[in-house]
Amino acid sequence: MKKNSLKKAFSVIAMAAVAVSATSAVASATEETFAPDGGYSKDVIAASEVKPVTDVTKIVVGKDQAGQQVKVQISVDGANAKFCSTGMHFYYDKRLTLETDPFGDPLVKKGAGTEYLGTIKIQADPTAKDFDNDTTKWAGVFFATAESANKGLNGVLYEMNFTIPADAKEGDVYPLDVIYRSNKNAKDLFTNKENDETGKVMQAYFFTQGIYNKDYNNTFAAPAADIAKNANLASIDKSVDGYIAIEGPGETTTTAPVTTTTTAPVTTTTTAVPTTVPTTAPTTAPTTAPTTAATTVSTSAGTGASTAAGTGTTASTAKPATTAAPSTTAAPTNAPKTGVAGAGMAVAGLAAAIGTAFVLRKKED
């Protein structure tokens, strides 16, 4: 009975979303910011009562896995039974192929973390291309949850299978990223049923510290063990959350040996100037006996040294991705005020419905 009621609620909210979003979302915009930090200071966010943190699959496979499927999971920790309404965008390297169901829709399965939450239909996000950069072309999906209580748990939120390109090369890296998106009408969510101060600060923590991102937490790094398998991971974009990589050296740069030659031959010749010393003896017959002494000194000192030292170094390089400005695609909002009965379902349900409506919109700003 409850399941049918939840489905009915989603249906009603979805039908009403278009009618109410224009007024309620705009009204909400005057009350809070649409930035990831929710308008809270770093100190307030750091002191959040609930600190949810994501974990996205990081895996290095052999080249023999080209053309094969790899399972990817998105997990959360630090928010057990503390959240209800969520909406987030998950982007992946466009070279990967996300598995689809018989109807061509993204095949994404719920995990233990979302088992007791209601979810809307998972949908592709064609506006992911707004985030394309010099190193990565993106594709994406959008997730959203709702429920009448805080039944979100620690653990896997979603899992899906991606097929690695058949022409994958050694050293290839395919980034994975949880992205926060918003526009003037809607924003991504990670809050509690009440959407009270605790829930809003938790949401700010999740989208600034709980995921890696360019503006607040640009510190992502691959484990040393993975870098040892794929050197290109050493320079992966510091704002992404995970990756699938192919084992191998990747691109290399070789520096030509440096040769140093030192030659220092020195020859010095010194010749003494001849000196004549006259001697006169006092006799009746003047006699002059000149004595001439000539001394010639010649010295030659020379040193010569030639050395050549060569060094060759090889280092891998991968240009980091940049993140473009957010588009207008985002999960829905318009959370009811604290204390309203059934607020969690209404907030998340309306959010999910608006997310469906806005996920196809292009960037307005």
Q: Is residue 40 in a domain?
A: yes
Query: Residue 272 domain-assigned?
Result: no
| Structure-block tokens of residue 175 | 């980034």
20-44 residue pLDDT tens: 232 233 334 334 579 999 999 999 9
**Number of domain units in the chain:** 1
Residue with tokens 């004549």: 276
By C-alpha distance, which of 178, 163, 224, 215 is closest to 331?
Answer: 178
Beta strands 58-61 and 242-246 are: parallel
- Residue 105 corresponds to which tokens in the numbers above? 């829709």
Residue 315 lies in a domain: no
Q: What are the tens digits of pLDDT across the range 191-216?
A: 999 999 999 999 999 999 999 999 99
Report the distance separating Cα 331 and Cα 106, nearest Å: 17
List pLDDT tens digits, range 300-328: 333 333 333 333 333 333 333 433 333 43
CATH number at residue 9: 2.60.40.680
Examine residue 320 and state whether it is found in any structural domain, yes or no. Answer: no
Residue numbers of the domain that contains 68:
2-252+328-358
Residue 318 CB neighbours (<10 A): 18
Bridge partners of 124? 141
Which tens digit of pLDDT belongs to each residue from 257-309?
A: 444 444 454 444 444 444 444 444 444 444 444 433 333 333 333 333 333 33
In a domain, 296, yes or no: no
- 295 within some domain: no
Higher pLDDT, 285 or 47: 47
Task: Tell me what pLDDT residue 33 has.
Answer: 79
Residue 92 lies in a domain: yes
